[in-house]
Amino acid sequence: MSKFKASTGVEQEINDKGYFIRQKNFFTTPFGEGESKLPVEAGRYRLIWAKGCHWSNRASIVRELLGLEEAISINLVGHGNSEQKRGWEFVYDESGIDPVLGVRFLSELYEAADSEYEGRPTVPAVVDITTGKVVNNDYVWLTNYLEEEFASLHKQGAPDLYPVHLREEIDSYNDFLYHNVNDGVYKAMFAKSIEAYNDAYDKLYKAFDAIEERLGVSRYLFGDYITDPDVRLFVTLARFDTYYFKYLGPIRNRIVDFKNIWGYARDLYEIPAFKNNTYLRDMAKSNANKSGVFIDYNTRFWDQIHYEELWSKPHDRETKSTDPEQKFLQNK
């Protein structure tokens, strides 16, 4: 019997006050040069992610933005109907088997890496194809590794999402986003006490208010050009009205109710790497097998909502930029 928890088994991540405390990442060896780091080699790694998981979604977006499609292969996992409750499965592949790694469950790759690992097998997971083992699941820093350590493999003219002169500020802002927004929605959704829920809810909307004000004078979070924090914020915004809201209780505002945030999200969605890796309809459909009277809006109408039309409405975000024709700072 596998000792791995299912991908949604978070019961052991609730403390005695009812707060959700996310499990720490286990495979955190960084990429780079040196004996203690993972070597950067084209074709060696495979990125495993899931449509509904924003932690992994941001890595898939950055991979495409930087032109790393040939350097790092990719595959999707989802929730299957297997009698074995082992979490994420390769449900989109023929016979449910990853064609490169030859496994059915993501947990098999975690088990190959460490037979004593007892946490949830999470995405993103970077797998070393040469060994069939997970070597990194550190979503906190993964996009930064792709932006910095994999620079030699970037496409010509790749955007600079992690400018050296802004890195200290970006790291600080990413930390703010993590605690209050990215993980903030989960802290509210998984809270097991009203105290924990109210704390997470208040911090989430306080953060949204601050972001709304920031975007009132700036096209993107750090000025005229898209940087790493924009990717991290976008993936939460894309899921908020589509999926998260149904578990958040009496929400104060939807994303579409924030003038600046909603225009900003649509501005980002215009970019192919964002659009190609954002499965709005799939996220809305996730509970479509439910029946009864009290079913949320998206679950009832997921196949009738025109997400492309909704997310493609005009915006005036370019007027907040001194370089309106460009969305990216180019690497030199």
Active site residues: 53, 186
Q: What is the 3-state secondary structure (H, E, C) of the chain?
A: CCCCCCCCCCHHHECCCCCECCCCCCCCCCECCCCCCECCCCCCEEEEEECCCHHHHHHHHHHHHCCCCCCEEEEEEECCCCCCCCCCECCCCHHHCCCCCCCCEHHHHHHHHCCCCCCCCCCCEEEECCCCEEEECCHHHHHHHHHHCCHHHCCCCCECCCCHHHHHHHHHHHHHHHHHHHCHHHHHHCCCCHHHHHHHHHHHHHHHHHHHHHCCCCCECCECCCCHHHHHHHHHHHHHCCCHHHHCCCCCCCHHHCHHHHHHHHHHHCCHHHHHCCCHHHHHHCCCCCCCCCCCHHHHHCCCCCHHHHHCCCCCHHHHCCCCCCCCCECC
Distance separating alpha carbons of residues 67 and 63, to the nearest angstrom: 6
